[in-house]
Amino acid sequence: MGEEEKGRKIISKMRRDLMIITTKTQNIIHKKTVVAFTYGGAYGAKGGLFDNICNYAGVINGAAQIGLKRGEKLSKESIVTINPDIFLLPTWSHNPKNDAQKLRKEILTDATYGKLKAIENNRIYFMPDRYRSCSSQYIANGVYKIAQIAYPDLFTD
C-alpha cells in the first residue's frame, strides 16, 4: 500500500503492547481458563489464532487444553469438563437473526452450564470479533482485553 513507515509504527506499537502485557502476566501461578463462543458454538483450536491470543494474555484456552482441532466446535460436555473461569461472547454477526444478548441469556439459563465457574461468578463478557478472530493490528488489543478481563488487578492503569 506504500505505507511502510506507518506499518512499521503499528508493528512496533503492537510489540511494545504485547511486551507490557506478557510482563504483567508472566508470573501468574493460577491462570484463568477461557472459553470463547461464536453464534455457532465454542471454538479455539490448539495452535490457532485465538489460542495464540490466549497464550500472550496469560490465560488458558479451554478448547485447546482438551485438544479441539481446527474447524471443530466444543460440545457442551467438553465445556463442562473444562469448567472455564470466563466465557467470551461475540458482539456482532452478519446474520441479523443472531443476537448477542439472546446468546448470553441462553448460556445463563442452560442447566448444563449452571455449576460452571464462569456462570457462578458471572464472568461472561462480550468481546468484539476484531479482537479475537481477525489477523490484524487489533490482535494486540484482544490480548490486552482478555488479560484485563482475566486479571483486572494487574491492569488498573
Under a CB-based contact definition with an 8 Å cutoff, are residues 9 and 36 in contact? no
Q: Which residues of 99-130 are buried (b: 16+ CB within 10 A; e: fewer)?
A: eeeebbeebeeeeebeebebbeeebbbebeee
pLDDT confidence of 36, banded at 50, 70, 90?
very high
Class of domain 29-154: alpha beta
Supply the pLDDT for residue 94.
74
pLDDT digits (tens, 9 = 90+) for 86-99: 999 998 777 778 78
Q: Side chain identity at 137, as an amino acid letter?
A: Q
Q: Is the pLDDT of residue 59 over 90?
A: yes
CB atoms within 10 A of CB 51: 17
